[in-house]
Amino acid sequence: MTDQPDDGGVLTLTGDVEESALPELREQVAELLDSYQVVRVELVEVTFLPSAALGVLVQAAGRAQRRGQGFAIVAEPGSHAARVLDVTGVPYVGPG
């Protein structure tokens, strides 16, 4: 996890997101939402994104919206993560 006070909180995920790591993912996202007004989760280097992990991110986005916070999922267009997000209709932004 990378905290960038000027830009909000950033969580960068890489490689395969394992289902066994979901409790930690949930906790890290919750900590960022409790600490920052704007949170960004970067999936640019993710090679596998299970549906359960996507569920964690969708729940976090909903929480952020209810609290009036900014929340963005970042994925490289054409990547595995972007394809999963496209198929499920979850909005994301490209890097940059």
Residue by residue, pLDDT tens for the chain (96 residues) are 444 445 699 999 999 999 999 999 999 999 999 999 999 999 999 999 999 999 999 999 999 999 999 999 999 999 999 999 999 999 999 987
pLDDT recorded at residue 96: 77
The Cα 71–Cα 64 span in angstroms is 6
Which single residue is written with the structure tokens 């267009």? Answer: 77
pLDDT recorded at residue 1: 45
What does the domain layout of the chain look like in residue ranges?
2-88
Q: Does domain 2-88 match CATH 3.20.20.60?
A: no
pLDDT recorded at residue 7: 63
